[in-house]
């Protein structure tokens, strides 16, 4: 079922469908909050607030993007507001690496490099044409299977595969993606 149809079912009174949407998107939404707040417990709270706010605002969901992206934007705004309200800065890669050291992680420098490389890759993905960017974001940033991407975007599976292939080829050509060894 497409997200718009699911939201319409919730608006018609089917709360179980909303529970399904929350279960489906909770990992990504918590991840958004965690990247901003840097604290797993606070990220959980912010994500919960985001889902409550999204539920109350469902009538405003236009359906021109995925429900996950929509609630993710809500979650990011909530997390940023929480961080600002608590007088904290948004967590940086270096601060997160320092936390990893205190948590017993192996190599903080490697962690910082990974975070910076991920940010560089996201910027490269942002430069892709919209149709390719959407497929790459859904596949790799939201860990969505190709079949579900086809359903979510209302595009044939072959087209999804083609867009993903072209996007990855372009990222490799421009040096933004290392070739697989």
To the question of pTM greater than 0.75 for the whole model, the response is no
Predicted confidence (pLDDT) at residue 103 exceeds the cutoff of 50: no
Query: Options 3.40.50.300, 1.10.1040.10, 1.10.1740.10, 3.40.50.150; which CATH number does 1-91 get?
Result: 1.10.1740.10
Which residues does 111 contact at the CB level (< 8 Å), separation at least 6?
A: 93, 96, 97, 100, 105
Contact 76, 37 (CB under 8 A): no
pLDDT reading at 30 higher than 70: yes
Residues ≥6 apart with Cβ < 8 Å to 121: 171, 176, 177
What residue spans define the domains of the chain? 1-91
Dihedral, CA of residue 40, residue 53, residue 133 and residue 42, to nearest 10: -10
- Can you say whether residue 8 is alpha, beta or left, with left for phi > 0 and alpha for psi between -120 and 50 degrees? alpha
> What pLDDT does 93 receive?
47
Provide the pLDDT for residue 107. 56
Q: Which residue has the higher pLDDT, 121 or 102?
A: 121
Mean pLDDT over 19-39 rounds to 87
Q: Per residue in 118-171, pLDDT tens? A: 667 777 777 888 888 888 877 876 677 899 888 878 899 999 999 999 998 988
Distance CA 84, CA 39 (A): 14
Mean pLDDT value across the chain: 79
Q: Residue 180: its pLDDT value, please?
A: 44
């Amino acid at each position: 079922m497409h997200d718009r149809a699911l939201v319409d079912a919730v608006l018609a009174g089917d709360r179980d469908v909303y529970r399904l949407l929350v279960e489906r998107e909770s990992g990504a939404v918590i991840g958004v909050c965690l990247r901003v707040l840097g604290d797993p417990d606070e990220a959980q709270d912010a994500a919960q607030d985001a889902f409550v706010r999204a539920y109350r605002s469902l009538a405003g969901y236009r359906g021109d993007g995925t429900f996950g992206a929509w609630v993710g934007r809500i979650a990011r705004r909530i997390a940023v507001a929480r961080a600002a309200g608590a007088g904290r800065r948004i967590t940086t890669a270096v601060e997160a690496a320092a936390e990893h050291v205190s948590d017993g992680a192996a190599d903080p420098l490697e962690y910082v490099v990974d975070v910076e490389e991920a940010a560089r890759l996201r910027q490269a993905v942002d430069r892709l044409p919209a149709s390719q960017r959407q497929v790459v974001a859904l596949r790799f940033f939201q860990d969505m299977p190709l079949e579900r991407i086809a359903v979510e975007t209302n595009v044939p599976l072959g087209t999804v595969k083609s867009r993903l292939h072209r996007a990855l080829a372009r990222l490799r050509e421009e040096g933004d993606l290392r070739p697989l060894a």
